[in-house]
């Protein structure tokens, strides 16, 4: 029989299993750790089996006591369950995948419960409970993490304390109850024992009295035997008076000498141990169940003349003395072997052996008669095993035994168990509720977190939309405007309130009809639309150009909910595009002008030389001389035009030095005022802290004079010219045309209040030969030259002008870096020295130039060798190495570049002097490659003086390179 704690531990274990089952079968997906359905099923089956097993043990004892008492039956169930457990484990192992610790531990618990069936030890139950706790904790840990584990641990600890308190409390109550019951039973047994002791004392006294009465100095046993009739009456009288059931006087051999009834031998008196003890000198009592009933025999020795003569035996009928007690109380008298000597008379219980070895508790199965016996309790209640209390009698040879039915105890236990189970169930339900509440809160928190996250994302998105650098408009499906972002508001000057009364289409009033109709089609068709739209009206009726994208936002059902329109302002982009186009155009024009200038220079050089020669051969003042003089002036003017063309066309930088624009303005102020004339007021506004720039002062002068001339011409009736300088940081906006500085620059601003320009004029002002002036008043090269110069300086020129509102030119010149060094212009002029007789190799592909230069040099006394290309020059050098002192070489030659020849000369004829000639450079300027090689340079067209000067200076230099 399991004790109270066993029941409670079983119940607790069942509750844990139920809890586990609830968690596993919970609809809360999170707790259903095992996603594998088969594993889930096997866990559920295992749990249910374990629960059944748990319930089977206590219920088995209650409802199947006979079956349950059979060890083999329990063993069979245990083996069956163990096999189930083994199958479950194997199945889980085979399935793999979902290998979790608790999956393995659960079948172990099942197996443990199987063992408990066979070995119902409390320690195994405890072990099982600890195991279940572990399994649950591991399970909950894997399901809910550390937070849940901590909560569950605290609860389980609390529950463990509750179980322990319940077990101890109920155990205490049960023990108290049982003690009271036992004490009651024991008291009855003690009273009966006392009566047996009294019987023994009475027997002893009575035996002594009888012995004294029957024996005397002369009356031994022989005498009594002989006079039996004399003593028999006395004996029977004594029997009646004393209440003894029989008195027997036996000789030493056990033969009856005198007996109060006639059947002494039927009791087997001589075989009684007390008879043998009596004839050995000791008196004593013995109990015997005989065919007629149960008797108590008292024996004492009979001593005659100092010798043992026999024994006197007194028989007490136990039935007579004790039967009512035995019947009423259900008490048994058993001997050392457990054989019942006296007991309740019903159902022949006397033939039953109550004790089997050391087994103190007899089960109902052993009590096949007892079950039917009303003495042993009601049959309905006798399903539970009886308990036995016994006390030894006379040193332990006999025992008084009482079987009592512990049903009252079981009722108490059932009550306590029920209360325990109920409270535990409430606790478990509370626990489950809390778990679910935690789970719910966790989900809620997660949802709130997700919502906050989404909210943040939405806010971010809203910020992105609101602060986007493109204008965004959202209209509903009725095209009523719902939202516009900041950029849109800045772009159009409309606020959302302004747009409330407007529809989407009204924003596009005035755009091209083609665009408008296509927009209408896109909106009505619910398809995306993208166009570059010009002339979108602002609130103030000004217009802007933008790339407009429109797309519908559709619901899940495909229905249009909103229209989103994005406006990307392309004004700046268009300006840049225009600039780029202008740059390309200017570059092309520059290339064209450069080419033309080269040929012109060659021709002008021939004309110049020819005129000079002709003038030498004519009389000054003669009509011919005047004509030649006119030709020469015309050539010079033409040469000036060509130089300006070259200045415009050069994409490469002229040698630059660091200058301060304020200083330059200060220096040129007088000249500028002369150009402007008296009717025009000039105001200089030099900026403070103006950065230096890299530029050529002459070029700046040219730029300013050109711009001043244009401004003056734009104000025939007088006006005002304001010249300002200021610094511009990169990205800084300037002017009213929305210009931005693309780098740190110094801005030179020249503003007039003349009649201004329309956009058409503005688009061509930098084109060469474009002019709005009357014929003969302008060459059309002024602004082209300005443009070319500014480009050379790496700068930028912008113009802002509207008809009737004057013109502003913005010239941005980049601020040089700290490490930028100004290049130095090589002097183009030298000291003419005559070196008559020196040999000069003239390398020129242009025949006219070659002839005229050869003629001029020859006239000066030089020995001239002529070559048309590099190859020929090299041949001449080889042949006349000693005769040639200087090589005058054109850069552009048919076969190779003149610089290649210069390189050859440097390498093989280092003593030879070189002068490079080119018509592609302005006067006084040299291409960078020449500057790098420090070669003297003569720009076409040149005068004879220039030619002789350069040749003389070069020949006079020691190294062949004209050093500055």
Binding site for another protein (CB under 8 A): 5, 9, 122-123, 126, 129-130, 133-134, 137, 141, 146, 149-150, 153, 156-157, 160-161, 163-164, 167-168, 171, 175, 179, 182-183, 185-186, 190, 193, 204, 208, 211-212, 215-217, 280-283, 301-306, 308, 360, 389, 391-392, 395-396
Render 797-857 in DSSP notation, one character per residue. EEEEE-TTS-EEEEEEEEPPPTT-----PPP--------TT-EEEEE-S-HHHHHHHHHHH
Task: For the beta carbon of residue 433, count every other beta carbon within 10 angstroms.
Answer: 10
SS3 332: strand
857 CB-contact burial (10 Å; exposed 0-12 / middle 13-18 / buried 19+): buried
When the beta carbons of 128 and 545 are compared against another protein, the nearer one is 128
CB of 296 to another protein, least distance (A): 18
When the beta carbons of 86 and 138 are compared against another protein, the nearer one is 138
Instruction: Give strand pairing partners of 832.
Output: none
Report CA-CA distances (Å) from 461 to 248, 458, 551, 555: 122, 5, 18, 19
CB of 425 to another protein, least distance (A): 20
How many angstroms separate the CA atoms of 365 and 66, rounded? 5
When the beta carbons of 167 and 589 are compared against another protein, the nearer one is 167
When the beta carbons of 389 and 841 are compared against another protein, the nearer one is 389
When the beta carbons of 391 and 900 are compared against another protein, the nearer one is 391
How many angstroms separate the CA atoms of 436 and 721, rounded? 86
CB of 458 to another protein, least distance (A): 39
CB of 315 to another protein, least distance (A): 19
When the beta carbons of 156 and 835 are compared against another protein, the nearer one is 156
How many angstroms separate the CA atoms of 655 and 660, rounded? 16
When the beta carbons of 210 and 797 are compared against another protein, the nearer one is 210
Following CA atoms 146, 147, 150, 152 in sequence, which dihedral angle do they give, to the nearest 10 degrees?
Answer: -110
Q: Which contiguous run of DSSP H or E holds residue 286?
A: strand 284-289
In contact, 650 and 689? CB cutoff 8 Å: no
When the beta carbons of 179 and 875 are compared against another protein, the nearer one is 179
When the beta carbons of 216 and 595 are compared against another protein, the nearer one is 216
CB of 130 to another protein, least distance (A): 5
CB of 165 to another protein, least distance (A): 9
When the beta carbons of 438 and 653 are compared against another protein, the nearer one is 438
CB of 144 to another protein, least distance (A): 12
CB of 101 to another protein, least distance (A): 11
Residue 943, sorted as left (phi over 0), alpha (psi -120 to 50) or beta, turns out to be beta
Taking alpha carbons only, the member of 101, 63, 55, 103 closest to residue 81 is 55
Residue 193: half-sphere exposure toward Cβ, Cα within 13 Å: 19
CB of 126 to another protein, least distance (A): 5
When the beta carbons of 129 and 714 are compared against another protein, the nearer one is 129
When the beta carbons of 291 and 395 are compared against another protein, the nearer one is 395
**Which residue's entry shows tokens 């089977």?**
56
CB of 283 to another protein, least distance (A): 6
3-class SS string, 118-171: HCCCHHHHHHHHHHHHHHHHHHHHHHHHHHHHHHHHHHHHHHHHHHHHHHHHHH
Say if strands 863-867 and 839-843 run parallel, antiparallel, or are unpaired.
parallel
CB of 91 to another protein, least distance (A): 27
- At 914, list the tokens: 């070189």
CB of 250 to another protein, least distance (A): 15
- At 569, list the tokens: 């302002």
When the beta carbons of 281 and 803 are compared against another protein, the nearer one is 281
When the beta carbons of 129 and 808 are compared against another protein, the nearer one is 129
Say if strands 913-918 and 886-890 run parallel, antiparallel, or are unpaired.
parallel
When the beta carbons of 211 and 638 are compared against another protein, the nearer one is 211
In contact, 323 and 345? CB cutoff 8 Å: yes
Following CA atoms 664, 666, 672, 677 in sequence, which dihedral angle do they give, to the nearest 10 degrees?
Answer: 180
CB of 304 to another protein, least distance (A): 7
CB of 388 to another protein, least distance (A): 11
Report CA-CA distances (Å) from 401 to 1, 341, 374, 920: 20, 11, 17, 145
Taking alpha carbons only, the member of 389, 416, 432 closest to residue 148 is 432
How many angstroms separate the CA atoms of 572 and 729, rounded? 18
SS3 919: coil
When the beta carbons of 86 and 127 are compared against another protein, the nearer one is 127
Residue 92 CB partners (closer than 8 Å, separation 6+): 39, 42, 98, 99, 103, 104, 107
CB of 549 to another protein, least distance (A): 57
∠ CA(582), CA(588), CA(593), 5° rounding?
120
When the beta carbons of 404 and 529 are compared against another protein, the nearer one is 404
CB of 389 to another protein, least distance (A): 7
When the beta carbons of 280 and 506 are compared against another protein, the nearer one is 280
- At 7, list the tokens: 């029941």
CB of 67 to another protein, least distance (A): 28
Cα 286 from chain centroid (whole Å) = 92
How many angstroms separate the CA atoms of 736 and 810, rounded? 11
**Which residue's entry shows tokens 């109270």?**
4
Task: For the beta carbon of residue 215, count every other beta carbon within 10 angstroms.
Answer: 21
Q: Which contiguous run of DSSP H or E holds residue 310?
A: strand 307-317
345 CB-contact burial (10 Å; exposed 0-12 / middle 13-18 / buried 19+): middle
The count of residues in the chain is: 964
**Which residue's entry shows tokens 């003042």?**
621
CB of 225 to another protein, least distance (A): 17
Q: Is the peptide bond before 621 cis (omega within 30 degrees of 0)?
A: no
């Amino acid at each position: 029989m399991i004790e109270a704690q066993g029941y409670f531990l079983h119940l607790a274990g069942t509750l844990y299993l139920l809890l586990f089952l609830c968690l596993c079968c919970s609809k809360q997906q999170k707790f259903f750790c095992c996603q594998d359905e088969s594993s889930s099923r096997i866990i559920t089956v295992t749990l249910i089996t374990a629960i059944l097993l748990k319930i089977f043990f206590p219920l088995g004892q209650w409802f199947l006591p006979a079956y349950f008492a059979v060890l083999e039956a329990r063993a069979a169930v245990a083996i069956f369950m163990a096999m189930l457990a083994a199958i479950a484990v194997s199945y889980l192992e085979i399935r793999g995948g979902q290998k979790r610790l608790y999956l393995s531990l659960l079948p172990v618990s099942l197996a443990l419960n199987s063992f408990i069936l066979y070995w119902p030890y409390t320690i195994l139950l405890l072990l099982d409970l600890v195991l279940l706790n572990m399994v649950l904790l591991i399970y909950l840990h894997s399901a809910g993490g550390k937070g849940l584990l901590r909560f569950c641990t605290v609860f389980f600890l609390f529950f463990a304390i509750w179980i322990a308190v319940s077990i101890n409390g109920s155990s205490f109550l049960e023990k108290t109850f049982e003690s009271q019951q036992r004490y009651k039973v024991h008291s009855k047994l003690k009273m009966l024992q006392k009566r047996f002791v009294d019987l023994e004392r009475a027997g002893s006294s009575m035996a002594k009295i009888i012995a004294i009465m029957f024996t005397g100095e002369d009356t031994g046993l022989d005498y009594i035997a002989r006079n039996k009739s004399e003593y028999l009456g006395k004996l029977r009288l004594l029997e009646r008076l004393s209440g003894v059931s029989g008195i027997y006087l036996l000789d030493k051999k056990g033969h009856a000498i005198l007996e109060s009834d006639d059947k002494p031998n039927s009791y087997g008196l001589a075989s009684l141990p007390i008879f043998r003890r009596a004839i050995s000198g000791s008196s004593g009592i013995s109990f015997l169940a005989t065919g007629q009933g149960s008797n108590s025999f008292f024996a004492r020795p009979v001593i005659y003349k100092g010798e043992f003569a026999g024994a006197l035996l007194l028989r007490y009928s136990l039935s007579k003395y004790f039967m009512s007690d035995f019947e009423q109380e259900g008490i048994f008298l058993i001997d050392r072997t457990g054989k019942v000597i006296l007991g309740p008379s019903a159902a022949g219980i006397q033939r039953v052996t109550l004790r089997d070895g050391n087994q103190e508790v007899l089960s109902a199965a052993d009590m096949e008669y007892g079950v039917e016996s009303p003495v042993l309790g009601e049959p309905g209640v006798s399903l539970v095993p009886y308990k036995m209390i016994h006390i030894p009698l006379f040193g332990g040879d006999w025992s008084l035994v009482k079987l009592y039915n512990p049903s009252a105890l079981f009722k108490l236990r059932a009550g306590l168990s029920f209360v325990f189970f109920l409270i535990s169930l409430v606790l478990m339900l509370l626990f489950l509720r809390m778990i679910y509440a935690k789970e719910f809160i966790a989900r809620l928190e997660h949802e709130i977190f997700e919502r906050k996250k989404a909210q943040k994302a939405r806010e971010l998105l809203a910020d992105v939309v609101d602060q986007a650098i493109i204008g965004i408009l959202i209209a509903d499906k009725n095209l009523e405007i719902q939202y516009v972002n900041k950029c849109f508001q800045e772009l159009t000057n409309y606020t959302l309130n302004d747009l409330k009364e407007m529809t989407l289409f009204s924003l596009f009033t005035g755009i091209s009809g083609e665009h408008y109709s296509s927009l209408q089609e896109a909106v009505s068709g619910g398809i995306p639309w993208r166009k570059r739209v010009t002339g979108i009206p602002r609130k103030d009726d000004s217009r802007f150009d933008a790339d407009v994208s429109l797309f519908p936002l559709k619901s899940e059902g495909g229905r249009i909910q909103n229209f989103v329109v994005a406006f990307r302002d392309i004004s700046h982009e268009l300006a840049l595009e225009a600039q780029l186009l202008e740059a390309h155009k200017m570059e092309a024009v520059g290339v064209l002008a450069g080419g033309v200038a080269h040929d012109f220079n060659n021709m002008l050089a021939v004309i110049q030389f020819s005129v000079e020669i002709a003038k030498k051969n004519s009389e000054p003042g003669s009509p011919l001389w005047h004509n030649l003089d006119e030709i020469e002036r015309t050539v010079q003017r033409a040469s000036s035009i060509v130089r300006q063309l070259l200045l415009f066309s050069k994409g490469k930088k002229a040698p630059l030095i660091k200058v301060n624009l304020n200083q330059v303005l200060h220096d040129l102020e007088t000249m500028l005022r002369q150009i402007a004339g008296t009717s025009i007021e000039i105001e200089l506004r030099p900026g403070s802290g103006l950065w230096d720039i890299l530029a050529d002062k002459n070029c700046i002068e040219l730029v300013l004079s050109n711009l001043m001339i244009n401004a003056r011409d734009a104000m025939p009736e007088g006006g005002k010219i304001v010249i300002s300088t200021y610094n511009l940081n990169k990205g800084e906006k300037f002017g009213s045309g929305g210009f931005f500085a693309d780098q740190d620059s110094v801005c030179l601003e020249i503003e007039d209040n003349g009649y201004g320009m329309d956009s058409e004029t503005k688009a061509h002002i930098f084109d060469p030969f474009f002019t709005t002036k009357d014929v003969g008043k302008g060459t059309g090269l002024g602004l082209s030259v300005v443009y070319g110069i500014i480009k050379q300086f790496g700068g930028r020129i912008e113009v802002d002008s509207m008809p009737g509102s004057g013109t502003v030119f913005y010239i941005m010149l980049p601020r040089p870096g700290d490490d930028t060094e100004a290049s130095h212009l090589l002097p183009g002029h030298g000291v003419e020295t005559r070196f008559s007789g020196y040999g000069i190799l003239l390398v020129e592909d242009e025949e006219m130039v070659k002839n005229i230069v050869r003629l001029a040099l020859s006239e000066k006394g030089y020995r001239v060798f002529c070559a048309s290309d590099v190859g020929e020059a090299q041949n001449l050098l080889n042949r006349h190495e000693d005769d040639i002192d200087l090589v005058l070489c054109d850069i552009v030659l048919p076969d190779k570049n003149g610089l290649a020849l210069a390189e050859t000369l440097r390498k093989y004829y280092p003593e030879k002097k070189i002068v490079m000639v080119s018509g592609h450079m302005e006067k006084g300027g040299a291409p960078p490659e020449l500057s790098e090689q420090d070669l003297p340079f003569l720009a076409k067209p040149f005068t004879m003086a220039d030619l002789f000067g350069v040749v003389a200076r070069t020949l006079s230099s020691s190294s062949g390179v004209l050093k500055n």
